[in-house]
Structure 1
Amino acid sequence: MKSREINKTWTVSAEQESPIHKVGMVLQPGHFEDYDPFLFLAEDWFQRGVFDFHPHRGMETVTYIIEGILEHSDNHGGAGRLNPGDTQWMTAGRGIIHKEDPAIGETVHSLQLWLNLPAAKKMTETRYQDLQSANMPLREEPGAKVRVFSGTSGGVTATTLNHVPVTMVEITLEPGATISQDLPGSYNGFIYVLEGRGVFGAKETEGKKNQVLWTNPTGDNEESEITITAIEPLKLVLFAGQPLHEPIVAYGPFVMNTEQEIRQAYADFRSGKFN
């Protein structure tokens, strides 16, 4: 199995967007070819009213709750509630209008990843998967816990449904503990450190809280792994996915393959076809 290296690191800085919203861009938008199949990832701190009803088409959102209680609802009658450690996997597909609001009196701290859909699935039916942390498969090794939200870790596999093959795991390590996370060699992947400090990959690259560690594919026809060792108590999320290698045209909340499809998305939204 090929041992992965860390190819790039950067530090995330948060900015105050409004009195009730602070955001740090973990993956900046616009680097679609480099980050494929990921579009961007935002770390948000927000109160009620920031993400009121808004549409999406042609993509998925993956929302991981760090702190606070998040309530969501949509124009198809769907609704739910997410607690710290939970994740929502929302497939916008052909079109949805939804809102994400902290519970009354709450400030939510979250990560939201935008994940591209392949051309053949852009107009698929909408779908929610509310993934409660307590119900997710758990891999346990000495000094290490890996909660598997999507994909596989050391033979422990989630039942989450994917249109694009994606591994998402939450890893906690005690100081001195080591874990290896297996990944297909064709995947792009990255780690975002939520707490603590550790060393990552074959070259033992150091990373700490608020840092991103990116790993490039190692090859299409081989398995790979990335090794992580905690220097301090360490908590992180790891995302990795299969690149789609398709054209992307993104405008506002819509992510399609052509400008004509974007124009059609806006026309369909304005004419009520998302209802």
Structure 2
Amino acid sequence: MMSLHRKLGKTYTPADQQGFLGLGHVARAVIQVPYPDSDPFIMLMDDMLDKKDNIPVGGPHPHAGFETVTLMLEGEMGDEKHTMKAGDLQLMTAGSGIVHTETIDKEAKMRILQLWLNLPKKDRQALPRVQDIALEHVPTKSEEGLVLRLYSGSLGGFTSPIKNYTPFILADITLQPGATTVQDIPASYTAFLYAIDGNVLVGNEARQLNANQVGWLDRFSEEGTSQLRLEAGETGARVILYAGQPQNDEIVSHGPFIADTQEDIRRLYREYRNGEMNHISMVEEEQKMAW
């Protein structure tokens, strides 16, 4: 059987925009392709905050119909009950509907990648749950010129403990100057790279992806495995890999909700206004997982 090799396709540099948290909040919309091309990835924001006052920002807000996947790149956030630090990840299944609170009431400097991940249609109403994995418990491969941290899925011969409804891989890959790695990912997965630092040559064609650029990989209809080759440039590279199984279902998106129909959206707004959505902190203990 002929090996399938991933190629770098569409690339772009997401622009800095004023974030909703006010001065000091810069946001980048990482996903800028139509949903059928990004399926199962709905939205990914790169949020950079340099808050220089103690005025509270953020607050409680609802979600339903999808999962949020939050990777802390720099800084820390949270409260005395739970704090996320650089390198930590949280996967929150909003499912049937929850209220979530993200309030920052002090000076803070942080950078966060937050993904909206579609749920399979059969799991759209899943019981809400939250999973946290601290940096020190993230499966990590360190070899000559390569550090690979695997937050979700299977890659490089090992598997993350994070439980997934939608199969997907999330990996933080750091390469020393000139180092090369070849990773196997399912051929049918939608996949893209977000370059955090340096530059990297992608695929056998060695197309360059620079810092702050997004690069979408080609996708195959065949089942089986495809190979992704990465080679760091002369200053090294750090890239985040997202790869996931497309769900091939149409979705309706409105505000903080993802649903199958407009009637579902209206129902979710009614439930939220009527106070029928619990706060994520109130989920049953068996729905809270931490490593």
Normalised to the residue count of structure 2, the TM-score between the two structures is 0.88
* 1:67-216 to 2 correspondences below 5 Å: 67-71=74-78, 80-102=82-104, 104-216=106-218
Structure 1 residues without counterparts, runs of 5 or longer:
74-78
Distance 1:112 1:72 in 2: 19
Match of 1:37 in 2: 40
Q: Deviations over 1:226-249 (max 9, x none)?
A: 111001221111000000011110
Match of 1:2 in 2: 4
Corresponding residue SS for 1:196: strand
Corresponding residue SS for 2:115: strand
Match of 1:76 in 2: none
Give 2:26's aligned amino acid: K
Give 2:241's aligned amino acid: L
Structure 2 residues without counterparts, runs of 5 or longer:
279-291
Match of 2:70 in 1: 63
Corresponding residue SS for 1:27: coil
Match of 2:238 in 1: 235
Match of 2:60 in 1: 53
Distance 1:213 1:200 in 2: 9
Comparing 250-259 and 115-124, the one that deviates more: 115-124
Identity of aligned residues (%): 36
**1:102·1:108 contact (CA, 8 Å) conserved in 2?**
no
Pair 135,63 (structure 1): closer, same or farther in 2 beyond 3 Å: same
Distance 1:158 1:131 in 2: 10
Match of 2:263 in 1: 260
RMSD: 1.7
**1:68·1:102 contact (CA, 8 Å) conserved in 2?**
no
**1:198·1:206 contact (CA, 8 Å) conserved in 2?**
yes
Distance 2:11 2:148 in 1: 22
Aligned residue pairs total: 269
Distance 2:199 2:240 in 1: 13
Corresponding residue SS for 1:22: strand
User: What displacement does 1:182 show?
Assistant: 1.4
2:32 corresponds to 1:25: no
Give 1:263's aligned amino acid: R
Give 1:16's aligned amino acid: Q
Pair 250,205 (structure 1): closer, same or farther in 2 beyond 3 Å: same
